[in-house]
Structure 1
Amino acid sequence: MNRTRWVLTIIAAGALASAIVMLSAYPGGVQRTGHRTRTADGVSVAYDLYRPAAGATSPPVVIIGHGVVVNKEMMASLALELAAGGCTVAALDWRGHGASGGRLGQRDGLARDLAAVAADLPRRAPESDMDRLALVGFSMGGPPTFRFAAERDAVRTWVGLGTFALSGVGGPQSPRNVLLLIGTLDEAFRPERIRASLDHLLTEGPAEYDRRYGSIAGGTAREVMLLPGVDHLMIPYHGGVLRRSRNWILESFGLSTDADFVLGPRLGWLALGLFGLAALMYTVSALPLSGSKPPAAGARAQSIPVRTIVSRTAISLLGWPAALLFLPLALTGLAFSALATAILGSCALSLALVLRRPARSAGLPLGRLFGEALGGGWTVWLHAVVLAAVLCVGCLLLLGRHWIGLLPGPERWLSLPLFFAPLFAITLWFALFIQKLAGPSIAAWLGRRSGRAHRTGGMWLAAGLLFGWFAALILGSGMLLGNYFFAMDLFPLAPMLAGLALIGTASERSTGSALPAAFAGALLWTLAIVTLSPAVDLSIFL
């Protein structure tokens, strides 16, 4: 590795390490610890406890419940803001999610989870004032936290993020101080539904957006805030949401709202860390670990015409029923993991079917491409393992602790190989599509028009073509169903496909193989898909 590459690698690693360290240095002396408790029906529930700086006198307590297909780490930003403001905060993993046991769908399960955490807090944080409580619920976490708040006099406020107030529960006096926040682009709930859910909590109605009813001091405040340009998935990360939620809760406890808002600096460190991780992945991908670089398959044969690539990709959308082949994975109880794998797999299978003949005509038979990728030698496999380790460890430390959990609980470990096997085959095909088929074809097409080589641009546009396939399928089905809930999946899909293009661009030069990008991508995709999917009680479908 030449000197310039060494310098770039050191800079990238330093940026990533600095971001990880700074994100782990919690503001205002906040202390964070992980705990477990057990519910009345025997389920192990994990929660993170955020405690204000030492010396805080009888801090009030906030319990936060996340939504479906996410986990407690998604609520870490709000928890830190509240703890820095003087509250003890418990963010739990609902049963079937994250590090908790059990399965989603068990009768009254979420209510039992809340009760167990609330009962465990006096033992874990004896200095806290359990007679001053607040509840926060995001999405699925809204209904159970709302009911809990309505049934307990100690609760001073309830905040619902991208969720609704339960009809038939509570009234103008209970729960105290209700705040609802909903984005105009929310895919899960229509803003009008959220607004209307506040009506039964008012003495005068119907509710209007951004109008405060009652008073916080009197415990009768009610408000529904409409957030322009905010979608469902971004609510727990949105600065305006966090600031308004924090201030509402602190005011309900009679605490000052003058504490520094820490999200901005943390987002800055996150951006630095992501830059460092991307740069590190690129420089490590470019390491010439193989003794001799295998010639790229595309260099030995004519590329497929771009028009054929694009038209066949569009036609392959008709192959979406191939997703049914992957649905038996739902028997693991990880229904959303199975669904995500099925959608990815339907794209891979249908694309392979429509491109099989054009690829063979161009001297690029798919069987040979797969064989060359898997049989590239031990140095290529070592390259792949090193890349996977750097990518996964970097994501776990940078993202998995502070923004979205990526490490599955022990009860899910046996599911990892079951999902890794199909996901590796899928990502290997995607990497071959980007590096050996569509990428070179698009690069050649661009080169004929500009007179310059565009190998990197070709690979990135090939990844964009794959993203377009998923966008067309998901948004098209959303239009037909009148619900865009699954459009949120496009947010994590974009960086994952970009990662394949980034790693593929560099490793194609160093090894000529699609294996490094595929192996690293498959391992990260497996961790994310298995961790984020709730374990579902399949009996609810019977």
Structure 2
Amino acid sequence: MGGKWRLFVLGWAVILAGAVLAHAVQTTGGVKVTDVRFPGDKGVVMSGLLYLPPGATAAHPAPAVLISHGYINTREMQSPFAIELSRRGFVVLAMDMTGHGYSGGAVGEQGFGGPAALRYLQSRPEVDRGQIGLEGHSLGGGPVLSAAAAQPDGYRAIVLEGTTPGLLGSPATATPTTPRNVALVFGQFDEFAPLMWQVPKGSLVATSPRLQALFGAQGSVVEGKLYGDVAAGTGRRLWNPPVTHPWEHFSRAGVGHAVDWFQTTLKGEARPLDPNNQIWLWKEIGTLVAFAGFVILLLGTFELLLAAPIFAGLAAEAQPTTLKRDGKWALSLLATIAIPALSFFAFMKLGNLFFPMKAFPQWITNQLLVWAILNGLITLALGLVLRRGKSNLAKLGGPAVLLALAVMAVGYGSLALVDGLFKVDYRFWVLGLKPLDAVHARYALTYLPLWTAYFLVAIRALNANLSVKGEGALAAYATAALAMAGGFAVLVGAQYATLFSTGLLLTPTEPLNVIIAIQFVPLLAVVGIIAAFAYRRTNSYVPGALICAMLICWYVTSGTATHWSPDFKLPIPAASK
């Protein structure tokens, strides 16, 4: 029995170690992190994380900064800014935009939620209302620019990270005097340069006529030069670091320039520090460790429960029909790797036709499901061509469903515990898994049957076609991870090799979907490992497929934007057309 507990105990140990580290970093110096809710308009409830440094009190109010994540992200994405600003003495509100995270409404409604978030921040007794800054990344420029437009005198400075005025319905005013004290951080390799500043490459943003109009410059804007007058509210500064769009809010340069601007334009922070003095990456390492522990816990829970009497009948040694890695095996591996990645852009574009609706309100989720279901159909068709004979896969029923539910219940419970104790989740950069609220749980239940249909097909094909008799565990896990994630790894690698060498993506019109694809490299590798692990212990594809379906459904639903509402319709983003 001791061996059966090994992974289970290890998973918990790794989770707690990572969570404790992350919590220690984000609360360094006595900062308190609190989950807050506040009213938006029309009855919408808004969500945020409030970072309160110990010196900020009603008797000694501190300067404050409202920060916002970008499209299909959540408030946790901006923790590098929140950590660095709060440890310097700024009160920070990391908001969820409308239609994102735990905020209600749909994408873009009510000024993206920015005006309401600014009002809430101003209402805090610990905040010096005369010293408030605004920061937003990508579509996060929408809420902060909307807040600035709603209260032209309600803030002193703004940092735009990889964004532009007028993006997808945000306020478009851009003059040498409005907004107040603007700093722009825009990466030399920002994938959205043509959309945002009408220049072919991010490295050419200084030549953008729109940017020159904002800065009041007669020619190219000089990076690092202060334009205008901070005291008069007309300060302007450009930074153009060698980073990509999703790297802007996950880099020393992106975070440091924002800290520098707020330390320049806002007064009263309790602990000024060099902008390059940064510790936020350790928080991300902690939550990455916790994510790894979560995966280990899923595997350990599966193995532990399989030894219990109620599930003992499911235990069986795998019986692959493939005796060696021959030409047909190699062809199956190549097809499994290549087809999902090669079809990704075309099927995502087709998925735009799966419009948001009350039952299926998340447009990106809808697109991903179109990609998944069509790949499932292709997999079924290929199975007829590449059939290796009768499969020995067991077809398990009710007990397999119960086992998968129990495994995911333990995994979900681990995240609920970590969130409750330490106010962190499982994430690293663009990868993020967070608890579901009641609304997103309902969405997940609607989407789950579609994800389940896909994974039952995909995982069956994976185990039937690529498992080899007598192969070792590590070889099986590596093969499954490669098969599921290899195509996306090549896709992402080719895109960014081209971007870093030429300044343009391999597919310049697909920046959004390229960024979405990044997170599917680690996610699909995890899917492959779970599938192979479960198959080797049950000779069935069903338990692993069900676990993977629930995991991906949870992941996508919790972190993706809600687009449907009775009175709002978001135009299709140009980047995803």
Alpha-carbon contact 2:322-2:465 (below 8 Å) kept: no
Q: Given the superposition, is the C-alpha separation of residues 221 and 134 from structure 1 closer, same or farther in structure 2, using an over 3 Å criterion? A: same
Q: Given the superposition, is the C-alpha separation of residues 266 and 453 from structure 1 closer, same or farther in structure 2, using an over 3 Å criterion? A: closer
2:480 to 424, 435, 459: 459
Deviations 1:13-67 (A, max 9, x none): 2121122233234222112223333334332222222211145522012111221
Corresponding position of 2:23 = 24
Corresponding position of 1:242 = 255
Alpha-carbon contact 1:439-1:462 (below 8 Å) kept: no
1:392 correspondence with 2:412:
yes
Corresponding position of 2:184 = 180
Counterpart CA distance in 2 for 1:395 and 1:227 is 35
Alpha-carbon contact 1:297-1:436 (below 8 Å) kept: no
Corresponding position of 1:114 = 114
Shift of 1:506: 2.6
Identity percentage of aligned residues: 21
1:496 to 497, 501, 523: 523
The answer for unaligned runs of 5 or more in structure 1 is none
Alpha-carbon contact 1:77-1:263 (below 8 Å) kept: yes
Shift of 1:98: 1.5
Counterparts of residues 45-444 of structure 1 (less than 5 Å): 45-54=46-55, 57-106=60-109, 109-110=110-111, 113-123=113-123, 125-146=124-145, 148-149=147-148, 152-166=152-166, 169-190=173-194, 191=202, 194-195=205-206, 196=208, 197-208=210-221, 210-214=223-227, 219-228=233-242, 230-254=243-267, 255=269, 256-258=271-273, 261-287=278-304, 288-289=306-307, 290-291=311-312, 293-299=315-321, 305-310=328-333, 312-313=335-336, 328=354, 330-331=356-357, 332-359=360-387, 361-364=388-391, 369=393, 372-375=394-397, 378=399, 380-394=400-414, 397=418, 400=425, 404=432, 406-440=434-468
Between 1:345-354 and 1:427-436, the stretch displaced more is 427-436
The aligned amino acid for 1:172 is: P
Counterpart CA distance in 2 for 1:488 and 1:400 is 21
Alpha-carbon contact 2:34-2:49 (below 8 Å) kept: yes
Shift of 1:540: 4.9
Between 1:148-157 and 1:491-500, the stretch displaced more is 148-157
Q: CA RMSD in A?
A: 3.7
Between 1:295-304 and 1:526-535, the stretch displaced more is 295-304
Counterparts of residues 468-507 of structure 1 (less than 5 Å): 482-507=509-534
Corresponding position of 2:199 = none
The aligned amino acid for 1:201 is: L
Q: What secondary structure sits across from 1:523 in the alignment?
A: helix
Shift of 1:345: 2.0
Counterpart CA distance in 2 for 1:274 and 1:127 is 34
The aligned amino acid for 2:404 is: A
Q: Given the superposition, is the C-alpha separation of residues 466 and 202 from structure 1 closer, same or farther in structure 2, using an over 3 Å criterion? A: closer
Alpha-carbon contact 2:79-2:280 (below 8 Å) kept: no
Between 1:416-425 and 1:397-406, the stretch displaced more is 397-406
Alpha-carbon contact 2:99-2:561 (below 8 Å) kept: yes
Counterpart CA distance in 2 for 1:78 and 1:333 is 30
Alpha-carbon contact 2:212-2:221 (below 8 Å) kept: no
Q: Given the superposition, is the C-alpha separation of residues 402 and 156 from structure 1 closer, same or farther in structure 2, using an over 3 Å criterion? A: farther
Shift of 1:158: 0.6
Shift of 1:468: 6.2
Counterpart CA distance in 2 for 1:263 and 1:325 is 37
Shift of 1:90: 1.5
Alpha-carbon contact 1:67-1:138 (below 8 Å) kept: yes
Q: What secondary structure sits across from 1:67 in the alignment?
A: coil
Counterpart CA distance in 2 for 1:484 and 1:323 is 13
Q: Given the superposition, is the C-alpha separation of residues 300 and 277 from structure 1 closer, same or farther in structure 2, using an over 3 Å criterion? A: same
Between 1:206-215 and 1:31-40, the stretch displaced more is 206-215
Counterpart CA distance in 2 for 1:15 and 1:418 is 32
Counterpart CA distance in 2 for 1:269 and 1:541 is 38
The answer for unaligned runs of 5 or more in structure 2 is 195-201, 499-504, 573-577
Shift of 1:382: 4.4
Q: Given the superposition, is the C-alpha separation of residues 512 and 205 from structure 1 closer, same or farther in structure 2, using an over 3 Å criterion? A: farther
Q: What secondary structure sits across from 2:193 in the alignment?
A: coil
Counterpart CA distance in 2 for 1:99 and 1:440 is 45
Q: What secondary structure sits across from 1:227 in the alignment?
A: coil
Counterpart CA distance in 2 for 1:265 and 1:318 is 37
Alpha-carbon contact 1:98-1:405 (below 8 Å) kept: no
TM-score (norm 2): 0.78
Shift of 1:352: 1.8
Q: Given the superposition, is the C-alpha separation of residues 212 and 55 from structure 1 closer, same or farther in structure 2, using an over 3 Å criterion? A: same
Q: What secondary structure sits across from 1:237 in the alignment?
A: coil
The aligned amino acid for 2:527 is: L
Between 1:86-95 and 1:252-261, the stretch displaced more is 252-261
Alpha-carbon contact 2:379-2:458 (below 8 Å) kept: no
How many pairs were matched up? 520
Alpha-carbon contact 1:303-1:362 (below 8 Å) kept: no
Alpha-carbon contact 2:88-2:272 (below 8 Å) kept: yes
Counterpart CA distance in 2 for 1:324 and 1:171 is 39
Q: What secondary structure sits across from 2:16 in the alignment?
A: helix
Q: What secondary structure sits across from 1:198 in the alignment?
A: helix
TM-score (norm 1): 0.83
Counterpart CA distance in 2 for 1:91 and 1:318 is 36
Alpha-carbon contact 1:424-1:519 (below 8 Å) kept: yes
Shift of 1:486: 0.6
Deviations 1:190-224 (A, max 9, x none): 42575424312324343446322236566544222
The aligned amino acid for 1:96 is: G
Deviations 1:345-366 (A, max 9, x none): 222221221223422x5223xx
Between 1:130-139 and 1:168-177, the stretch displaced more is 168-177
Alpha-carbon contact 2:173-2:179 (below 8 Å) kept: no
Structure holding more helix per residue: 1
The aligned amino acid for 1:251 is: T
